[in-house]
Structure 1
Amino acid sequence: MTKKQVIIVTGADLAPEALALLGDYEIVFAGKTPQTADIAALAKEHNPVGIIVRYGSLTAEVMDAAPALKVISKHGTGTDTIDKSAAQARGIKVAAAAGANAAAVAEHAWALILACAKAVPHLNDRMRQGHWDKATYRAVELNGCTLGIVGLGEIGRRAAVIGVAMGMHVTAFDPYATTVPEGVTLVDLPRLFRESDVVSLHCPLTEENRGMLNRETLATFKDGAILVNTARGGLIDEPALAEALQSGKLYAAGLDSFAVEPMPVPHPFRDIPSLILSPHIGGVSNAAYVNMGVGAAKNVLAVLQGVATPA
């Protein structure tokens, strides 16, 4: 019997629906938190034709350990953990499951916006400690405020539409956008930062926009603005954000991604009460888990069998 070709998954599991699509291949799981060296060792051992990336980084080292490798497929949308230049130089296709977790991430962005504006985590903690803060509680009413969306991909568009439904004035920056949702106005980035009461990041991380939120740009924000990031941690200069929150320049921030993940301990963010943190789970939901797995599997098959066009 002919030995099955191998596909490595840089994680401990994959949706059953995705595994069913890949039934003609042997699936090798790299574990819950694989490091680059672990993935490279598995690649050398199994010489996979495809790698589905859930966790960890795909470097030239990994690619060179797998001469048969033809496709790297992201279990999600962000491909910044894949060395795309190295892949291109080796003739390896890189694909992403575009839009597979868009609803989940947009919903989580709004969970963070509302948690910041209404101080939900703080109130929950106070209630559990026996306090009743009704007399002193104050909140931000979002109706009539300006929401600035950075990046109008599928996630940003969904977040923007929710903002319109909430009665907000919604502006957006995206140099590649050809259409915008009804009720959304395209503006330049300096104006968006300057005029927004809430800024929500939904753009990919590139070398051009790395650290785009730094001491200089944060200084241009409205006093008392809210910042939410469900995109990539590298977009933000973390010490600068900590300063802006501690000084009161920003009212609050909600972060789901960080420059280094998992977030190191100790970290200055842990001591800032106006900062709401979640461990990069914006794209995690029952539906998104299936959608991302199926999308990643289809992109693998598109390259290996020519059955579809990669996302």
Structure 2
Amino acid sequence: MPRFKVLITDYAWPDVTIERNTLAEIDAELVVAPKGDAETLAGLAADCDAIMTNWAKVPQAVIEACKNCKIVSRLGIGLDNIDVAYCKSQNIPVTNVPDYCLIEVAEHALAQLLSLSRKVAFYHHETKNGRYVLQSGPKLRRIEGQTLGIVGLGNIGRKLAEKALGLKMKIIAYSRSRKDPMPGVEFVEIDELLQRSDYVSLHTPLTKDNKYWLNADKFKLFKPSAYLINTARGALIDGQALQNALNAGQLAGAALDVQEVEPPDLSQAPYNDPRVVVTPHAAFVSEESLQNLRSRVAKQVATRLTGGVPENIVNGVTVG
């Protein structure tokens, strides 16, 4: 019999060797969930001591079923898939890895910006369909001197700003706190940011207060030549409002790495619109970032199960 059991609800990489080997050091068995709903996860969690989760929903019912739960650890940054408040009420620490893929997400957002500005994805699609026409699609513009508006100047937003400043772009940002001013970055209010930006890149967590905040009214503020980039959370954007805005010529295009439902129905708008570049929630991925993420989360769990204090407790629970 193993000393501990740890449930992993889902993962976005080929295997769980890193997690299994790290937990084996403390005689913990890794229970790998098949793809399923909360009821399935609750059944698997019943005799486990900890939960690790990537994207799967971990609501109160799953945590409640895990009677001996010592920790819920997110294989990622955002926490909107975990009932953090319930965990706190039960004195269960919730952890994440807030700094594991900062460079990767910033690089992906910049790659999306470059693809939109130089029509790389558009031209690729056209040529693969037999249309080799330079003049097709929106006009090309020089990136240098254009304005990038960053919504959320946290760790990832700052990394993106650093890279875009290297391209000699003008950077404006919206931040509720406005703490830690950054050289070369001008703080503005959100409506001004949408009105002035040639590119708008989202880098803010999803909360109950900002779901669909980028709606029909906000899209009316965009320049008709502007582009939207989202590597944060899909539900920050009202998808139907985005498509309506594209159809109305209120913005020129978008690049979406995150969707409210994943995978989305790619036959439906806005995913089937040639002005929209879609990637499959890939921004966080690199060999380096995944190694860092997986080993650190497994160590968080191992530390907690053996009586220690894990890094990055996010819900204010005191342990030890």
1:1-311 equivalences under 5 Å are: 3-11=2-10, 16-23=17-24, 24=26, 25-31=28-34, 33-44=35-46, 47-134=47-134, 138-264=139-265, 266-304=267-305, 305-310=307-312
Asked if the contact 1:301/1:307 (under 8 Å) is kept, the reply is no
Task: Give CA-to-partner distance per residue, 1:119-154, whole Å, 9 cap, x none.
Answer: 112211222344332355731322111101111222
May I ask how many residue pairs the two structures share in their alignment?
307
Letter in 1 for 2:5: V
Tell me the distance in 1 between the aligned counterparts of 2:292 and 2:159. Answer: 17
1:176 CA displacement: 3.0
1:59 CA displacement: 0.6
Using structure 2 for the length normalisation, give the TM-score.
0.89
- C-alpha distance 91-308 of structure 1, shift in aligned 2 (>3 A): closer
Tell me the distance in 2 between the aligned counterparts of 1:34 and 1:158. Answer: 36
1:220 CA displacement: 1.1
Gaps of 5+ in 1: none
Letter in 1 for 2:127: M
Tell me the distance in 1 between the aligned counterparts of 2:298 and 2:181. Answer: 30
- C-alpha distance 162-15 of structure 1, shift in aligned 2 (>3 A): farther
More displaced 10-residue stretch of structure 1: 300-309 or 235-244: 300-309
Q: CA RMSD in A?
A: 1.9
Asked if the contact 2:242/2:270 (under 8 Å) is kept, the reply is no
- C-alpha distance 302-194 of structure 1, shift in aligned 2 (>3 A): farther
Tell me the distance in 1 between the aligned counterparts of 2:191 and 2:101. Answer: 29
1:242 CA displacement: 0.6
1:5 CA displacement: 0.6
1:37 CA displacement: 2.3
Tell me the distance in 1 between the aligned counterparts of 2:177 and 2:95. Answer: 19
Asked if the contact 1:30/1:39 (under 8 Å) is kept, the reply is yes
Asked if the contact 1:302/1:310 (under 8 Å) is kept, the reply is no
1:173 CA displacement: 1.2
- C-alpha distance 303-210 of structure 1, shift in aligned 2 (>3 A): same
Tell me the distance in 1 between the aligned counterparts of 2:310 and 2:262. Answer: 33
Task: Give CA-to-partner distance per residue, 1:243-293, whole Å, 9 cap, x none.
Answer: 111222111100011122221354222331101111212112211211111
Tell me the distance in 1 between the aligned counterparts of 2:311 and 2:126. Answer: 52
SS in 2 for 1:299: helix
Asked if the contact 1:228/1:255 (under 8 Å) is kept, the reply is yes
Tell me the distance in 1 between the aligned counterparts of 2:141 and 2:153. Answer: 25
Asked if the contact 2:102/2:155 (under 8 Å) is kept, the reply is yes
Asked if the contact 1:106/1:155 (under 8 Å) is kept, the reply is yes
SS in 2 for 1:111: helix
Tell me the distance in 1 between the aligned counterparts of 2:169 and 2:101. Answer: 24
SS in 2 for 1:178: coil
Asked if the contact 1:50/1:69 (under 8 Å) is kept, the reply is yes
Tell me the distance in 2 between the aligned counterparts of 1:78 and 1:273. Answer: 29
Match of 2:316 in 1: none
Asked if the contact 1:213/1:236 (under 8 Å) is kept, the reply is yes
SS in 2 for 1:271: coil
SS in 1 for 2:271: helix
1:17 CA displacement: 4.2
Asked if the contact 1:226/1:251 (under 8 Å) is kept, the reply is yes
Asked if the contact 2:6/2:51 (under 8 Å) is kept, the reply is yes
Tell me the distance in 2 between the aligned counterparts of 1:133 and 1:266. Answer: 25
SS in 2 for 1:268: coil
SS in 2 for 1:269: coil
